[in-house]
């Protein structure tokens, strides 16, 4: 199964979502998990991994594959789809051939968005792109919006408006949100997985949040089989 995490909006949480979901699913030792980093900035394959190699955390619980080329990504995804039970694809924050190819190879696309009008607009473009890519490939590619970086303490007007609009439009959305939590940022800074951070209340909350998202995603996958 291939799951692409995409949106043309920079900074909406694609790489963080990819890393969290791969980490959470890798807890199930019966599953083989890979991340394909298709973003030329290589947030996971280069930046995150280079921080990690300075550390002594032992082997990664998932495989990281790097491919940033339009001309090879379809082969890379076909191959990864054969070799691994679950493949997460992290994409650059632009609309383009790479994102369309990834979407057309995917069973599911996750579209992260912060609760803002601008992210909502970008998510709308991503939804259309995935629909078109699925049509072109004659394949049923499901899209799910994931609300990210919401503040656990404050419910803003913009948040309420964006959610009301989303739910009225009938698009699929994960009920679990990836809240704004410091540990989600620490994993990037430290090259660790969320389970490798020094345990405290805040880390445990972030773990619970990520696990909850994984459970909801697993339920959705099971329901669509
Ligand atoms: N839920 C969160 N809580 C706290 N910080 C977050 C969260 N999600 C993302 N961030 C931080 O916000 C920044 C952007 O996140 P991320 O790199 O995941 O976005 P992206 O969509 O992959 O961006 P790009 O389009 O540049 O690839 C990073 O510094 C990340 O650590
Ligand atoms: Mg990224």
Longest alpha-carbon distance in the chain: 48
Q: How far is the CA of 140 from the centre of ligand 1 (A)?
A: 28
Look at residue 52 in the predicted model and tell me its pLDDT: 87
Tokens of 222: 């099971």
Which of 52-61, 91-100, 156-165 is the least confident region? 52-61
Ordered domains of the chain (ranges, CATH): 2-223 (3.40.50.300)
H or E stretch covering 119: helix 117-136
CA pair distance 173, 176, nearest whole angstrom: 9
Residue 69 has phi, psi (to 5 degrees) of: -110, 130
* SS3 label, residue 88: strand
Q: What is the pLDDT of residues 29-63, one digit of tens each?
A: 999 999 999 999 999 999 999 988 766 778 899 99
Mean pLDDT, the chain, integer: 95
93 lines ligand 1 (CB under 6 A): yes
User: Facing residues of 216 across strands?
Assistant: none
Query: How much is the average pLDDT of 200-218?
Result: 98
Percentage of residues in the chain having pLDDT higher than 70? 99
Helices 201-223 and 182-190 meet at what angle, rounded to 10? 90
Rounded to an integer, the average pLDDT of 68-83 is: 98
pLDDT tens digits, residue range 116-134? 999 999 999 999 999 999 9
Q: Which atom of ligand 1 lies nearest, measured to the CA of 7?
A: 21
For residue 39, report the distance from its CA to the centre of ligand 2, in Å.
Answer: 7
């Amino acid at each position: 199964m291939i799951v692409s995490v995409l949106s043309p909006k920079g900074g909406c949480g694609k790489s963080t979502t990819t890393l969290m979901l791969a980490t959470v699913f890798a807890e199930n030792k019966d599953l083989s998990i890979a991340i394909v980093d298709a973003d030329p900035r290589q947030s996971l394959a280069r930046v995150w991994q280079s921080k990690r190699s300075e550390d002594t955390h032992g082997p990664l619980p998932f495989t990281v594959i790097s491919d940033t080329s339009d001309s090879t990504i379809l082969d890379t995804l076909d191959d990864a789809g054969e070799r691994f039970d679950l493949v997460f694809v992290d994409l650059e924050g632009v609309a383009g051939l790479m994102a369309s190819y990834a979407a057309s190879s995917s069973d599911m696309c996750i579209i992260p968005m912060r609760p803002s009008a601008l992210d909502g607009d970008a998510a709308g473009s991503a939804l259309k792109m995935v629909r078109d890519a699925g049509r072109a490939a004659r394949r049923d590619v499901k899209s799910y919006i994931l609300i990210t970086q919401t503040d656990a303490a404050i419910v803003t007007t913009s948040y309420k408006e964006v959610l009301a609009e989303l739910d009225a439009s009938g698009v699929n959305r994960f009920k679990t949100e990836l809240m704004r939590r410091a540990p989600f940022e620490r994993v990037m800074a430290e090259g660790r997985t969320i389970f490798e951070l020094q345990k405290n209340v805040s880390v445990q909350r972030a773990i619970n949040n990520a696990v909850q998202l994984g459970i909801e995603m697993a339920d959705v996958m099971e329901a669509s089989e």
